[in-house]
Amino acid sequence: MLLAIMATNVQVEKNQNESSANVIRRFTKRMQNAGIIPRMRKIRYYSRVKSENVRRASRLKKLVKKENYETQLKLGKVQERTSRRR
C-alpha cells in the first residue's frame, strides 16, 4: 500500500495587537484541524508486517532456546524461573 503524501500549507498571519503565543496557538489549532499531526504520527510510527520467512525463523529460534532451557533445567544446571505476577 502506497501512501499518497500531499503537501498541505497552513498559513497564519499575526494580527496587529496579537501576542506571539496566540499566533502559535492558532497555528497549532489549524494544524490539528487540517489533520497533519495525526498523519505525521501515523507515518512516524509505522512498522512493516514481518514476512513469513522472518516469522518462521524467529519462531524456530524461540523453540531451540526453549528446548535448550528445558534440557539445562533437567540436568540441574539452571534454576527454574519464577513468575513475577502477584
Average pLDDT over every residue of 46-63: 94
Does the pLDDT value for residue 34 go beyond 50?
Answer: yes
pLDDT at 8: 65
**Considering the entire predicted model, what is its pTM?**
0.45
Least confident stretch, 2-6, 14-18, 48-52: 2-6
Q: Is 60 exceeded by the pLDDT of residue 4?
A: no
pLDDT of residue 5: 58
Residue 28 CB-half CA count within 13 A: 5
The pLDDT, as a whole number, for residue 1 is 44
Cα 61 from Cα 54, distance rounded (Å): 11
